[in-house]
Amino acid sequence: MIEYSSFVLDNGLKVFVHEDRTTSMAALNILYDVGSKDEVVTKTGFAHLFEHLMFGGSKHIPSYDEALQKAGGENNAFTSPDITNYYITIPANNIETAFWLESDRMMALSFDPKVLEVQRSVVIEEFKQRYLNQPYGDVWLKLRPLAYKEHSYKWATIGKEISHIEEATMDDVRDFFYSYYLPNNAYMVVAGNVTLEQVKKLSEKWFAPIPSGTRRKRNIPAEPKQTAARFEQTEAKVPLDALYKTYHMGGKLSADFYSTDLVSDILGRGKSSRLYDKLVQEKKMFSSLNAYIMSSVDPGLLVIDGKLSKGVQLKDADDAISELIEKFTQEQFSEKELNKVKNQAESTLLFGEVEVLNRAMNLAYAAMLGDPEIVNREAANIQKVTTADISRVAKTVLQPENCSTLYYKSI
């Protein structure tokens, strides 16, 4: 249970406070309700580029990292299709430094052309190193547009292509900032050895003066129901052939989200899972094989991926997965097997909340979804899933016509 208090500043910034006297540290987490899904198809990668630009200095603080390190703090950030998240961990007695740093770049980010050029180069290099020049790195550059035809999940967070980052202008950057990096589009969680009154005082001092703005209206096309299987094959210099299969599923707030998550766990979580037991250990067709969900806010994907054993043909491996899944959808599931994956999922959830920073992140995400109490209902939602739910969801989601398959062939 994550206990919290909350308040909203006049400019719309939503603030949550989670007090924990057992630690000497504090975390300040700011989640902006913007991700790569908010981009347009001709200008992708901006949310991720902006994550980098936010560390390039602000009006009063030319070196963000240097100022934070002097106070004993650490920071980082990440971008997803749904959100951009920035966080600081710092000794609690220096928490005001975090307020100062985050408020200054929310109010007065540096639009220095030199910073844009530096960060543009960093992102382009990341694109090349992580996505183009790394074995299997371009998988999601191919899988997303195969699985999605309308929704803006069809491009990766890094962007659809390098040229969009190469051609980004300062006007593009300013427009993105003033459309999304607004106090009324942000959720701030302060967690650790702090008090509600302390956070209220510091929030009023550092964030209240920042004016609210008009957030760009979100107009993302819904993904049509997939009615026919899709297939693509690619080749690259990789160690082993690989196979990827995606199935459309509901979003984070859908009624069957947790049931689908547990279906993926039964199929491919760990060495006792169905796929691993049958196709890795018994038949030795794969050297590794997993199933998982993307946990998207909007309707997402259940994914199966694996690296093939030497000498196994991709078509044979694909047929073996399809055969296992067909049997899986016809089964009556046991309470014992379901309880095993429920307990695994709940233990992962609880273990993840040991760190105060993770609690702060989880609370911010739940608040962005529309109800901070979601963070405290997850364990119960996992335990509510029944064997009947598993059977129904398996039959609904794991249909051949709902599947997109990518063969990644080694050359």
pLDDT of 111 above 90: no
Q: How far apart are CA 68 and CA 64, in angstroms?
A: 6
SS3 of residue 54 by DSSP: coil
Same domain, 247 and 362: yes
Bridge partners of 303? Answer: 246, 292
Q: How far apart are CA 98 and CA 192, in angstroms?
A: 13
Both tokens of 351, joined, read 């273990």
Q: What is the domain count for the chain?
A: 2
Contact 257, 297 (CB under 8 A): no
Q: Who's near 127: CB < 8 A, 6+ residues apart?
A: 45, 158, 159, 162, 165
Query: To 10 degrees, what angle do helices 374-384 and 257-268 make?
Result: 60
Give residue 135's pLDDT band: very low, low, confident or very high (50, 70, 90). very high
Query: To 10 degrees, what angle do helices 257-268 and 387-397 make?
Result: 80
Q: Tell me, yes or no, whether 212 lies in a domain.
A: no
What percentage of the chain carries pLDDT values higher than 90?
89
Contact 71, 64 (CB under 8 A): no
Q: How far apart are CA 13 and CA 22, in angstroms?
A: 28
Question: Which of these, 350, 357, 378, 298, lies nearest to 85 by C-alpha position?
Answer: 357
pLDDT of 55 above 90: no
Question: What is the reported pLDDT for 60?
Answer: 86
In tens, the pLDDT along 371-406 reads 999 999 999 999 999 999 999 999 999 999 999 999
3-state helix, strand, coil in the chain (%, to 5): 45, 20, 35
Q: Tell me, yes or no, whether 225 lies in a domain.
A: no
pLDDT of 112 above 90: no
In tens, the pLDDT along 248-268 reads 999 999 999 999 999 999 999
In tens, the pLDDT along 5-53 reads 999 999 999 999 999 999 999 999 999 999 999 999 999 999 999 899 8
Contact 111, 214 (CB under 8 A): no
Both tokens of 14, joined, read 């939503």
Same domain, 198 and 266: no
Same domain, 296 and 255: yes
Same domain, 260 and 301: yes
Both tokens of 91, joined, read 């000794």
Question: What is the reported pLDDT for 174?
Answer: 87
Alpha carbon distance, N-terminus to C-terminus of the chain: 51
Quote the distance between the C-alpha of residue 264 and its chain's center. 17
Same domain, 184 and 287: no
Q: Who's near 262: CB < 8 A, 6+ residues apart?
A: 338, 341, 342, 345, 382, 385, 390
Contact 363, 189 (CB under 8 A): yes
Specify the DSSP class assigned to residue 56: S
Q: Tell me, yes or no, whether 222 lies in a domain.
A: no
Q: Tell me, yes or no, whether 189 lies in a domain.
A: yes
Specify the DSSP class assigned to residue 58: B
Same domain, 245 and 148: no
For the segment 226-244, the average pLDDT, to the nearest whole number, is 97
Where do runs of H (alpha helix) occur along 26-169?
A: 46-53, 64-70, 95-107, 113-126, 139-147, 162-166
CATH number at residue 344: 3.30.830.10
- 280 φ/ψ angles, rounded to the nearest 5 degrees: -100, -55
Same domain, 131 and 199: yes
Same domain, 235 and 99: no
In tens, the pLDDT along 312-357 reads 999 999 999 999 999 999 998 999 999 999 999 999 999 989 999 9
Same domain, 62 and 202: yes
Where do runs of H (alpha helix) occur along 210-355?
A: 257-268, 274-275, 314-330, 335-352
Contact 35, 79 (CB under 8 A): yes
Structural domain span for residue 80: 5-206
In whole numbers, what is the pLDDT of the chain averaged over residues? 95
SS3 of residue 338 by DSSP: helix
Contact 398, 268 (CB under 8 A): no
Q: Tell me, yes or no, whether 217 lies in a domain.
A: no
Q: Who's near 282: CB < 8 A, 6+ residues apart?
A: none
Contact 275, 226 (CB under 8 A): no
Quote the distance between the C-alpha of residue 384 and its chain's center. 24
Same domain, 250 and 192: no
Of residues 360 and 59, the one with the higher pLDDT is 360
What percentage of the chain carries pLDDT values higher than 70?
100
Same domain, 247 and 286: yes
Query: To 10 degrees, what angle do helices 170-180 and 46-53 make?
Result: 90
Same domain, 238 and 202: no
- 86 φ/ψ angles, rounded to the nearest 5 degrees: -120, 140
| Strands 230-236 and 403-410, bridge-based pairing | parallel
